[in-house]
Each structure stands twice: as structure tokens, then as C-alpha cells.
Chain A
Amino acid sequence: MSWSGWIFLILSWGLILGVVIFCVVRALKEPYKDL
């Protein structure tokens, strides 16, 4: 795999993992008030 392939892979995975962790942690922390 070329260095540019690695960059695309790391950026894509990093971005998605970052958003997943941020969202899931916040969503679990703040359940709906009236559920």
C-alpha cells in the first residue's frame, strides 16, 4: 500500500472512529428525559 493510501485510510478511519466514540459516549450519557 502506498503512503497516500495509508493517509486516506488513517484519515477516514480516524474521522469515523472519532465521531462514533464522541456520539456514542454522549448519547449514552444523556438518555431521553421522558423515556
Chain B
Amino acid sequence: MRNDVRKLREERSLSQGDLARDLRVSRQTVNAIETGRYLPSLPLALAIGRYFGKAIEEVFHDDGQG
């Protein structure tokens, strides 16, 4: 599973700490999501999508899909 969290965050000039604070998770968790080490729960994935104004499938992608 790939995701565009890092790209979306950097487009908004946010630090991992900023995003973590707004999502109420730890900075390490944001880093783990961005690097694909941790797959967030559906509620957190939805919150991430809402945060960036995107649908969940616009942020998270199956491997092999664009």
C-alpha cells in the first residue's frame, strides 16, 4: 500500500509534528505512515483524507495502481 501523505504534507509546508498534532497521533506515527511501515486504521485514514480535503483512495493506493 502506497500513500501520498508526505507529498500532501509538504505541499502545505507542514512538518510531521504539525500533522501529528492536528491528527492527535505521535510524530513517529506520521513518519511510519509516510514510509509505509504502518498502515493506519480506517478511522485514521479517513481523518487523513479529510484533513487534506481528499477522498481516502486519493491518498492511499493499492500497490500496482496509479
* Chain A bound to chain B: no
Q: What residues make up the interface of A, taking CB atoms closer than 8 Å to B?
A: none
Q: What residues make up the interface of B, taking CB atoms closer than 8 Å to A?
A: none
